[in-house]
Amino acid sequence: LPAAVLLKDTKLMDVKLGQLGTWLAMRDFTPGGILGAVRRGYNRYYNKYINVRKGGLGGVSMVLAGYVVLSYIWSYSHVKHDRRRKYH
Amino acid sequence: MLSRLVLRAAPAALRALPPPVAVGVLHTTRPLHTTQQSLAPVPPLPEKGGEVRHGLIPEEFFQFLYPKTGVTGPYMLGTGLLLYLLSKEIYVINHETVAAACILTVIVYGVKKFGADVAAFADKLNEEKVATALAMKNEAIQTLQTAIEEEKKEQWRVEGRSYLFDAKRNNIAMLLEANYRERLLMVYNEVKKRLDYQVAMQTLKRQKEQDHMIQWVEKNVVQSITPQQQKESIAKCILDLKALSKSAHAAV
């Protein structure tokens, strides 16, 4: 028998599609948990792209691109009015 | 005797108590001291960061799609997505698009032209930092090495301690000996002086006694010689002389 790993401990990419709902429900959504998740994500990105000997442009530019996309999404309701259509 | 009674009663009383809980078991569910939490030595920084293609998309995405769609898959996906966004006007083309295009052109041109130089400059700064740190570390190691050498030398010197102490001990012994001999000589001289004094006193006394006695005897003898005796002795002497002269005459 393969070693039974708890669903709680599997990573997101290993979760099967049907288990996604259960997996999401088991995550820690307390403020402390969310803070921990943010910190972990930041550390992963930082240690992979920025905290290296010869860092490249990609590390910073990905963050800026993400910022651009996010700000476009947030301002979409305002940009809607510039669409080429007869009736907005 | 009462104490012996108490001693006999104690084990029986102890056996009557309930057996204690096993004290060796820790009631914890969390295992203790399993991770190897050591902060040193710190692993070195990786040389290069994660690969990013076109400065925007991480390489992992391309690898993720490669088995199913080959090399052009992600580019097709990108084109399709772009056309979809444009046709449905989810991405709206307005004045900001023009501005974004200009800015992007300038940025790309700048990066392509000056990227290598800036990277070299930053690398040089890093190198200097690392070199200073390394120099400090080497210097510290060097100081410690010299300290170790000095310590070994001192330890070797300590071995010579016994010779030093022997020499000192000999010196002191000689001093003591010299002092002792000096004092001995002094004592001898003093005693000799005292004894000489006593001897001189005795000889003087005897001499004085002798002189006195001789003088006294002479005085008495001179006193006892009366004039009568003097005449008789002189006459006898003359007779003796005459007799002697006669015998001398005869001999000749």
pTM over 0.80: no
Q: What is the C-alpha to C-alpha distance for residues B140 and B146, in angstroms, rounded to an integer?
A: 10
Which of B:72-101 have CB within 8 Å of A? 89, 91-94, 96
pLDDT classification of B34: cutoffs 50, 70, 90:
low
The predicted-structure confidence for B42-60, as pLDDT tens digits, reads as follows 778 888 888 888 888 888 8
Region A42-71: mean pLDDT is 90
Longest dimension (CA), chain A: 64
Q: Which residue has the higher pLDDT, B23 or B161?
A: B161
Inform me whether the C-beta atom of residue A11 falls under 8 Å from chain B C-beta atoms.
no
b (16+ CB within 10 A) / e for B209-248:
eeeeeeeeeeeeeeeeeeeeeeeeeeeeeeeeeeeeeeee
Prior bond of B31 cis (ω within 30°)? no
Q: Is B48 on the interface with A (CB under 8 A)?
A: yes
Shortest CA distance from B92: residue in chain A: A83
pLDDT at B12: 57
Query: Cα dihedral angle (B46, B52, B53, B58), rounded to 10 degrees?
Result: 130
B52 touches chain A (CB under 8 A): yes
Query: And the tokens for B123?
Result: 């690398």
Tokens of B27: 């009631």
- Kindly give the interhelix angle for B59-69 and B73-87, rounded to the nearest 10 degrees: 100
Are B56 and A58 an interchain contact pair (Cβ–Cβ within 8 Å)?
yes
Name every chain B residue with its beta carbon within 8 A of the beta carbon of A85: 89
Is residue B31 very low, low, confident or very high in pLDDT (cuts 50, 70, 90)?
Answer: low
More confidently predicted of B65 and B40: B65
Q: B148-181 pLDDT, tens per residue? A: 999 999 999 988 888 999 999 999 999 999 999 9
| Residue B73 CB partners (closer than 8 Å, separation 6+) | B65, B66
And the tokens for B85? 């966004």
Distance (Å, whole) CA B99 – CA B208: 152
Contact between A23 and A15 (Cβ < 8 Å): yes
Nearest by CB: B47 against A48, A53, A72 = A53
